[in-house]
Amino acid sequence: MVEPREFRKRIQEIVSQDYKVEFLGKNFDQIVSILTDTKAGKIYSWVNEVVSKKIQPIFIGSEKQYKNWAVSELFTFRHQFSIGNTEYRTLLVKVKNSIYIEFHLGNHKYYDKIRKELDLKKSSY
Looking at residue 111, its pLDDT comes to 94
Looking at residue 121, its pLDDT comes to 76
Instruction: Compute φ and ψ for 33, nearest 5 degrees.
Output: -70, -15
Looking at residue 75, its pLDDT comes to 97
Looking at residue 125, its pLDDT comes to 45
Which residues have CB under 8 Å from 117's CB, separation 6+?
A: 66
Looking at residue 123, its pLDDT comes to 57
Burial tier of 27 (Cβ tally within 10 Å: 0-12, 13-18, 19+): middle
User: Whole-prediction pTM value?
Assistant: 0.91
Cβ pair 71, 60 in contact under 8 A: yes
Instruction: Indicate the SS3 state at residue 13.
Output: helix
Low-confidence ranges of the chain (pLDDT < 70): 122-125
Looking at residue 80, its pLDDT comes to 96
